[in-house]
Amino acid sequence: MSQRYFTVTWDQLHRDAKALAWRLAELGPWTGIVAITRGGLIPAGIIARELECRLVETVSVVTYDEQKRGNPQVTKPPIAAGDGAGWLLLDDLVDTGTTARVVRAMLPKAYFATIYAKPAGRAEVDAFVTEVSQDTWILFPWDTEPQFVAPIMKNVAAK
């Protein structure tokens, strides 16, 4: 388990996805978007809107069970995207690059972009917005909810 956590809010995710869309707009037009589920679904929706792209396909690759990493399993291939030529492949994050390599093998001609990238997987994608350290676990807004947090001094005094 990671020792650091980085919480991404809905507002921040939207801003970062839109920043990525600005970069991708110059490279289009795109035939369609392939979202890597589940994390890529919301960024793909935001970017599809910004790029006025109506054709959205998905590829489902299961790699994590909560925070435990396992062997990747493709549970739904991206049939409509063929070899990926003209397609934009989107995910929320590239971590170790495991999922990225599996999907790249299926869509070798797609342009691969993520919102966030960690050093171990950064080389697997063509574009990203923000790099975070490898030991950081990103808490996406769909994985969290607002709750009370004690002041820092309460935790310092308890030690």
CA 103 to chain centre: 13
- Point out the catalytic residue in the list 91, 126, 135, 143: 91
Residue of 16, 83, 92, 143 marked catalytic: 92
> What dotted CATH number matches 4-158?
3.40.50.2020
Quickly state the pLDDT bin for 36 (edges 50, 70, 90).
very high
Cα angle: 70, vertex 72, 78; to 5 degrees: 155
Annotated catalytic residue within 83, 95, 126, 143 = 95
Hey, what long-range contacts does 61-66 have (CB within 8 A, 24 or more apart)?
61/36, 61/37, 61/99, 61/102, 61/103, 63/98, 63/99
pLDDT greater than 70 at residue 158: no
User: pLDDT per residue over 138-151, tens digit each?
Assistant: 999 999 888 888 88
Tell me: the pLDDT tens digits for 56-79? 999 999 886 656 667 889 999 999
Sign of CA dihedral 71, 116, 11, 155: positive
Active site residue 91: yes
pLDDT tens, position by position, 79-90:
999 999 999 999
Indicate if the pLDDT at residue 10 is higher than 60: yes
* Catalytic residue flag (residue 83): no
